[in-house]
Structure formats: structure tokens, C-alpha cells
Amino acid sequence: MAKTSTTTQGLRAAIERSGYYPALVAEAVEAAVGGEPVRSYLVHQETTFDQNEVRRHVTVLVLTGNRFIVSHTDEQAADDTSPTPYATTSTESVKLGRISSIVVSRVVANPEQYKPGTLPREIVLTIGWGAVSRLDLEPAACGDPNCEADHGYTGSSTADDLSLRVSEAGDGPETVRQALTFAQALSEATADSAR
């Protein structure tokens, strides 16, 4: 990453602020971004509970002029394959033209009193680019309740490559604001790449 860009510096500061293996996460993100200027970013650190274990994850989303980059880091406890705890970091780089859908679901308290510009209580950002699809099938039926014929199956296919939930209570209002800003920048960038 070019160290002169204020957006790039903001990304590095956000990774460090997350406190989640910042040297490891920053190196993976910097390698994926290469020399491209960063247009927008979102750093989301999440803690989950898996039976008796507490697990942390961090997801970093980066928008450059040509690509959408996803970096995800998980930590793992010592197990049969490793006598010491370890972390796994992966990055994926997607050309903007491959992004097929961006869904922003907003949860707003007291919608009858909503004023434009008020932050939602939470958002779910779902981005699809065709790497992962979910197929929901169910038996097909006809309108005859006595029919015993096999009508095959019916269903739907949904692009579901990435889904990220950000809430004011769990992540703070600044992270919600940053997620909305990133979603808007990504939407605009994919619209520009389609022209």
C-alpha cells in the first residue's frame, strides 16, 4: 500500500485499532491491495461463542479503483494438528465487474419517528459475486390436494458470498457509519464499472 494516501493510512489505523493481530492482518491486506490506491474500506472485528470457546474474527473489506478485496482472519486454539494456537488469514480479490449484487438491510427503531440521516440500529451488508451460491429446494406441488404425482422440485438460487452484520450496540455508531459509507462507495463503483 502506498503510505502517502490518507485513506490507506486510515485503513492501517483501523486495522491497528481493532487490536486483532494487526501486523498479520495488515500484511495480508497490503499484499492483496498491492500498489493500488484505497478508495474505501471497512474493518469489522467480531467475537463469537462456540460451545465453551470464545473465538475472534476480523474481516477487512477494501475497495480500490478496479477491485473489491476481502480479507478474513480467524484464530484457532491448539488442536490435534497444532500444539500451539494459530491464526488463518485469507484474502480474495474480485474484479468490480463480477459483483452481481449488493444488499444493505437496515434495522431502524421507531420507524414512525425516523428522520433522514439517522443511523440505523444495525445493518447487514450482503455482497454476491458468484463464488458461493445458496440453493433452496422444496418439493413442487400442484393445486390438487389429492394428487400423488411427483412434480419434481422448485427452488431458488441466491448469491451469498459475503454477509456482514454491524450493529450500533455491538460495534459502535462509527462502525455502522463506516459500513454504510463503504456500501455506498461499492455500489457506486460497481455502477461505474458496468458502464
Give the model confidence (pLDDT) of 97-146 as tens digits. 999 999 999 999 999 999 999 999 999 999 999 765 566 677 788 888 88
Return all residues near 126 (Cβ < 8 A) that are at least 6 apart.
101, 102, 103, 105, 160, 162, 163, 164
Residue 16 lies in a domain: yes
Give residues with Cβ within 8 angstroms of 120, minimum separation 6: 106, 107, 108, 168, 176, 180
Considering its fold, how many domains does the chain have in total?
A: 1
Q: Between 48 and 5, name the one with better pLDDT.
A: 48
In a domain, 168, yes or no: no
Confirm whether 136 is domain-assigned: no
Enumerate residues 6+ apart whose C-beta is below 8 A from 31: 91
Q: Determine, yes or no, domain membership for 166.
A: no
The Cα 52–Cα 48 span in angstroms is: 11
Q: Residue 56 domain-assigned? A: yes
Residue 129 lies in a domain: no
Residue 33 falls inside a structural domain: yes
Whole-prediction pTM: 0.82
Domain that holds residue 77: 1-96
Give the pLDDT score at 1: 38
Q: What percent of the chain has pLDDT over 70?
A: 90
